[in-house]
Structure 1
Amino acid sequence: MRTPRAAATIAVASTILISLLGAGAPAHAAGSSGNLILIGGALNENAQILQRIVADADPDGSGPARARIAIVTAASAPAANATEAADPNASNAAANGLYYADLFQRFGADTYRVPIDVATNYSGDPYVPSNAFSTAVADQVRASTGVFLSGGDQSRYVATLMQCAPASGNAYTSCTDTPVLGAIRSVLNGGGVIAGSSAGLTIQNGAAMVTGGESYEAWRYGAYAGTGVGSKDLTYSPFGGFGFFTEGLLDSHFGTWGRQARMIALADHVGRDLVVGVDETTALVYDRATRQGTVIGANGVSVLDLYGADIVGTRAEGVRWHYLVNGDRIDFGTLAVTAGATKRTGAGTGSGPAVKRDIWDSPSGSGGTSSMVNQAKALVKSSASVAEGTTWERRPTYRTYLDRVSGTRWWSTGGFEGLEVSFLPE
């Protein structure tokens, strides 16, 4: 059984863990400056999120200066040729740079497209790996008031913006900043904003960054260091990412792709007690100075609290789940949740949800929420005290229990706190 730890002890333990695993940035320290805007993916040109990025990057509010956002798309695959690179509707690093530059300009920001990706594919390609070491490129980034990290594969950010010691399967345990990553870090430390969507969120993690995997395989086979390319197994990078957010493990597409179970498995494997997962078309705005997080956007942010949970082998009991929606806030120093609507105690009305088959599913389409989130929302507003679901896969089948306990609270806008989660193999 895990032993609950005070917030100060957790911060010390996090610092020690990151030091041991070789993280390139320190754990959170009081007085840190700058904001993080952690987007769970499928931004869908959400005006609330985009306006917040530009507003946080604006150096003088309503004054004459404008936000200047450096757009980093190195998590995307490189363009195969000049035609693809120039097509803003294509999906490659150069094309994505064009798309996001136009998007942020529409919201009132100046932009700089950072010309870096993992390979040079054609003559005259301006997006090249060596630009990560360019003084001129680093200076352009450093002159920005914000940085946007687009989606793709977070391992490409490691490959392009970090210098890592060779390791099997890119499971790096020692890395340092390239000049451009150093410039990105200086924007944040100087009070700027770092926003990232999907892989751009995940790369902001400290040690033990998730690199791939599905929930069922995570519980059946466990976790191991690696990139997870071509496999559903749960993999992670021991060194981690850029180390901007160290309150807990980060994951994207969270309540949309049913990733709660995979991240509980990873957190237990690496000895971490907090997971922060952000749904699609949703962002967590994190103030590093105050350690306050605010949710904006269409869906929610999950905070999974493993302190005191009983996790042995392939069973987990008593993980506390907080689900915050637009306007809700959390203090990461205390894990106190401030809801944007009145909190309710006890049961609601009506019968609880039926047992859900395939509760760890990933629904088709984007921007919504998976069965586990929907099951939890149905439970808290009903008169029931427990909701259940099973995995689609068998041999073994895992049964999920969601339990209303004395500390469970919920509110009309769809958020809740203190719901207990358990996974048991059948």
Structure 2
Amino acid sequence: MRTPFRSRRTVLTGGAAALVLTLTISPAAGAGTDAAPRQSGSLVLVGGGLKDDNTQVYGEIIERAGGTKARIGVITASSVPASQDPYAGDPDKCSNSECNGEYYSKVFKRHGAADAQWIPIDLDHISNADADAVVRQVNSMSGFFFGGGDQSRYLTTLLNGAAHTDSKVLAAIRAKLAAGAVVAGSSAGAQITAGTDMVTGGESYEGLRDGSSPGYFEDATRLGYEPEGGFGFLRSGLIDTHTGAYGREGRAMRLAADTGHDRVYALEENTALVVEHPGGPRERVRVLGPRGVAVFDLRRARVQGEASARGTAGRHGTWSLSGVRYDYLTDGDRYDPRLRLTLPAAGKRPLAPLSTTPVPANTDVFYSVANPAGVPYSFLTTARALAATRAQRTAEATTYEDGPRFTVTFAKTPGFTTWSGDGATPQTLTGMSIVVAGR
């Protein structure tokens, strides 16, 4: 789900004398350097839109939780509580933490879990996050699933205010992960596993135009983030969700550039990023599901624009980002965060582009909410069209909005490879170069 609170823009002015600078993002500033405990367990993070018949993803969670002995604790505190749901008494219409918890519990049991139980924590039951009885319930589980909604409610219910310290329940879940349990989540449930600078909302165009600011805000278009982050289970990169479905590639790159992170995992719907040993030197990831996960690597990225410092915005039209490496992983592909290496799945082979058809024009690269004729997965569509043709080495796509208009340049630089499982269709992309420039 889209979160209802978004960031307020910050615009710096200074006339003709305004400072213009170039920022080179250093790996030392990235999320991969955050201090994090090594984990023996694993994460299964879904980009939202998890369908109840996705046997791949549900099966993976259950298998990692013990297979036929799996006991799944379902946390849905990101949903509104029953007291705020006008349909709380109607099982066919309700959409609150308790009925959502019941829904996921039934789905997990249907997919083969021995047991699945709602963990009774939400805005109506915040005190349960420190209740010994609920801690005992958590300790009896072998896996956990965080549902979607608004990740700010997870911060409110499971962390201790401004101190950002664990409640007893969150501390117990963290200990279970360290001991080998699986922690899964979808949409807000995946976002909340992030480390510092967790995204809180926003659209790509407004984010590129105005930059990011810390906080939660009413305007759904404003790019915001929580500096203290979420639960910090995954720190090797920022996390974004619903990426292609909502056209969030632009906001993902802008937030990473603004906050000094050098990697983003951009998750697609109904598809999981499976993370082994998060936080340690053996951390590895794998993609599971019908769509994919984009990895934006900003190690060598350069930002040009007015006052590119953390939490500030560039003057309209002056901001640009170059030197971003774009990999797109699909089902079965693996990625080594330490080596920054994509390993296509067994059975996929490099695909030599044979088409001579030019890349189709794209005037809405981030699937703008202002464009009623917009098409989801627009960014990926252009990238794959470029990969499939031998007629072009580069392709340009633009934003729907033009005040200013941003141009995205895709380039097949040396080392770029597209991989295919069927020998005809571009599926996995490695080493494509991305430039975003406002004009």
TM-score range, shorter chain: 0.7 to 0.9
- Alpha-carbon distance in 2 for matches of 1:285, 1:423: 29
- Alpha-carbon distance in 2 for matches of 1:326, 1:186: 30
- 2:161 matches 1:144: no
Match of 2:394 in 1: 386
Match of 1:239 in 2: 228
Q: Residue 317 of structure 1 contacts residue 421 of structure 1 at CA under 8 Å; is this kept in 2?
A: yes
After the TM superposition, which residues 274-285 of structure 1 pair with which residues of structure 2 at under 5 Å, given as runs? 274-285=263-274
After the TM superposition, which residues 11-22 of structure 1 pair with which residues of structure 2 at under 5 Å, given as runs? 14-15=32-33, 18=34
Match of 1:171 in 2: none
Q: Residue 14 of structure 1 contacts residue 27 of structure 1 at CA under 8 Å; is this kept in 2?
A: no
- Alpha-carbon distance in 1 for matches of 2:406, 2:206: 11
- 2:99 matches 1:101: no
* Identity in percent: 38
Aligned AA (1:235): G
Per-residue deviation at 1:129? Answer: 1.5
Give the one of 131, 134, 147 matched to 1:134. 131
- 2:404 matches 1:396: yes
CA deviations over 1:255-309 (Å, ceiling 9, x no partner): 2211111011111111110000110010010001631111011100010000111
Give the one of 366, 369, 377 matched to 2:384. 377
- 2:413 matches 1:421: no
Greater Cα shift, 315-324 or 85-94: 85-94
Aligned length: 388
Per-residue deviation at 1:342? Answer: 3.6
Match of 2:355 in 1: 349
- 2:78 matches 1:72: no
Q: Residue 29 of structure 2 contacts residue 261 of structure 2 at CA under 8 Å; is this kept in 1?
A: no
After the TM superposition, which residues 261-410 of structure 1 pair with which residues of structure 2 at under 5 Å, given as runs? 261-288=250-277, 290-313=282-305, 314-340=319-345, 341-344=347-350, 347-361=353-367, 370-383=377-390, 384-410=392-418
Match of 1:92 in 2: 96
Aligned AA (2:55): A
CA deviations over 1:359-381 (Å, ceiling 9, x no partner): 1106899xx95100111111111
Change in CA separation of 1:100 and 1:409 when aligned onto 2, cut-off 3 Å: same
Aligned AA (2:75): V
Give secondary structure in 1 for the equivalent of 2:433.
Answer: strand
Give secondary structure in 2 for the equivalent of 1:200.
Answer: helix
Answer 1 or 2: higher relative contact order, Cα 8 Å, separation at least 6: 2
Give secondary structure in 2 for the equivalent of 1:392.
Answer: coil
Per-residue deviation at 1:4? Answer: 6.1
Aligned AA (1:96): N
CA deviations over 1:10-44 (Å, ceiling 9, x no partner): 78x744xx4xxxxxxx4264xx2101001000001
- Alpha-carbon distance in 1 for matches of 2:92, 2:121: 17
- Structure 1 stretches lacking a partner, 5+ long: 19-25, 121-127, 166-173
Change in CA separation of 1:227 and 1:411 when aligned onto 2, cut-off 3 Å: same
Give secondary structure in 2 for the equivalent of 1:320.
Answer: strand
Q: Residue 86 of structure 1 contacts residue 94 of structure 1 at CA under 8 Å; is this kept in 2?
A: no
Q: Residue 275 of structure 1 contacts residue 305 of structure 1 at CA under 8 Å; is this kept in 2?
A: yes
Match of 2:15 in 1: none
Instruction: Give the alignment's TM-score, normalised by structure 1.
Output: 0.86
